[in-house]
Amino acid sequence: MRILLLSAYAARSHVAWREALQTMLPEHEFTVLELPPRHFNWRVRGNPLHWALAETKALTADYDLLLATSMVDLATLRGLVPALASLPSLLYFHENQFAYPASAHQTGQVEVQMVSIYSALAADRLAFNSCFNRDSFLDGVSTLLRRLPDKVPPGIVDRLRARSQDLPVPFSSPVMGDAEKDRGASAFRGSRGNAPETLRILWVGRLEYDKGCDRLPAFAELLEQSGVDFELAVVGQEFRERPASVSELQNRFGHRLVHVGYLPSREDYLATLLDADVVVSTALHEFQGLAVLEAVSLCCLPIVPNRQVYSEWFDAEFLYEGDTADATVDGRAAAEAVMRIAALQRAGRVSAPDVSRFSQQALAGDYRDLFADTSALASPAT
């Protein structure tokens, strides 16, 4: 099958998804057009303008399927490039703009949300990386349409729901051979504690507001007050400005930190996951939590908030009840959950949950079937 893959905001997770597809479906031929992950609002509105005029040859080649991420303005693009209007299309949602927590820098949210509605209506099939992502998108569409003053046709949400399914982003099986383990430099190896009883805690996520890194000072403070012997690796992509909460964490708890920031080596990253006892999320939003799932696949015990997608993936023993409105309460709740799960681990009463259903091996057939079913469809009448 010849597949045109369009990714309008190629963040790391989107690139990882694309690479996984190319790896696990080698029988398909992918033509990939990606745009860099910056200038968000312009990317969402500007991608059809750029592609339609700068990539005409690539867009008008012969394909069996159009696969686009939800940042693509699919409705406009299909209008500007008639060859795409009759090509069966699948829109993949890594996230949606209805459930994303707002920041002080965001503008034009309604416009971006409307683009996602038009794109969804222009697609033959919709796939979401979790039920939470799908349901929050459909709920958000319903809420927004009720706010519009008039001339809103009935049945839009039902039409979109009928085209939708959940299909997670797969991760590659990250089991490392002995040679890779030897090459990998874990953040925990040779660190300050390094005693057998030291609890090795991993926090993984972008160092941004939506991943809840402002919870980390309160998290570390309660562990310190409780006398827990712990080491903490804060691993994630950084941007121009390091959050003040991360600087506070370094100033107050530098003696507990073994790493802060990005690990550019895949081997070093996986080695750090292998050496961790617990992986913690304090995210204010999570549509799948791929980094946490990958850590759990390497036997880390998850401690995650009982919100967004996590209650979909994990049993109650791995969830904590926090407070998104209060960083201190939220961080302390995560720390209490870590201490509870660590005690169960020492007693041999808990083990990492099975997440093999998210592997490339487990999901390849589902993707293959969805691509085949979509490519057999005619363009929808919206």
Which residue carries 């020492």 as its tokens?
A: 346
Q: What does the alpha-carbon distance between residue 330 and residue 319 come to, in Å, rounded to a whole number? A: 12
Common-topology check for domains 2-170+360-375 and 178-358 = yes
pLDDT more than 70, % of the chain: 92
Convert the pLDDT of each residue in 232-267 to its tens digit: 999 998 877 889 999 999 999 999 999 999 998 889
- pLDDT (0 to 100) of residue 193: 47
Convert the pLDDT of each residue in 123-179 to its tens digit: 999 999 999 999 999 999 999 999 999 999 999 999 999 999 999 999 875 554 554
Q: What does the alpha-carbon distance between residue 221 and residue 10 come to, in Å, rounded to a whole number? A: 36
Looking at per-residue pLDDT, the higher value among 123 and 209 belongs to: 123
- 3 state SS of 34: strand
Q: CA 142, 145, 149: angle at the middle one, nearest 5? A: 150
With 80 as the cut, is the pLDDT of residue 100 above it?
Answer: no
State the fold for domain 2-170+360-375.
Answer: Rossmann fold (3.40.50)
- pLDDT (0 to 100) of residue 304: 98
Per-residue confidence band for 41, with pLDDT thresholds at 50, 70 and 90: very high
DSSP 3-state helix, strand, coil percentages of the chain (rounded to 5)? 45, 15, 40
Q: Is 186 left (phi over 0), alpha (psi -120 to 50) or beta?
A: beta
**Mean local confidence (pLDDT), 316-333:** 97
Burial class, 144, CB count within 10 angstroms (exposed 0-12 / middle 13-18 / buried 19+): middle
Q: What does the alpha-carbon distance between residue 210 and residue 308 come to, in Å, rounded to a whole number? A: 12
- pLDDT (0 to 100) of residue 194: 56
- pLDDT (0 to 100) of residue 173: 58
With 90 as the cut, is the pLDDT of residue 382 above it?
Answer: no
Looking at per-residue pLDDT, the higher value among 184 and 48 belongs to: 48
**Mean local confidence (pLDDT), 96-111:** 72
Show me where the domains of the chain are located.
2-170+360-375, 178-358
**Mean local confidence (pLDDT), 305-319:** 96
- pLDDT (0 to 100) of residue 381: 43
Report whether CATH 3.20.20.70 matches the domain 178-358.
no
- pLDDT (0 to 100) of residue 175: 53
**Mean local confidence (pLDDT), 86-113:** 83
Q: Are 274 and 176 in contact (CB under 8 A)?
A: yes
**Mean local confidence (pLDDT), 266-295:** 94
- pLDDT (0 to 100) of residue 186: 87
Which residue carries 């850590």 as its tokens?
A: 295
DSSP 295-315: HHHTTPEEEEESSTTHHHHS-
Looking at per-residue pLDDT, the higher value among 339 and 186 belongs to: 339
- pLDDT (0 to 100) of residue 281: 97
- pLDDT (0 to 100) of residue 162: 98
Q: CA 211, 362, 379: angle at the middle one, nearest 5? A: 85
Convert the pLDDT of each residue in 45-63 to its tens digit: 999 999 999 999 999 999 9
With 70 as the cut, is the pLDDT of residue 223 above it?
Answer: yes
Average pLDDT over the chain reads 92
pLDDT more than 90, % of the chain: 84
Per-residue confidence band for 208, with pLDDT thresholds at 50, 70 and 90: confident
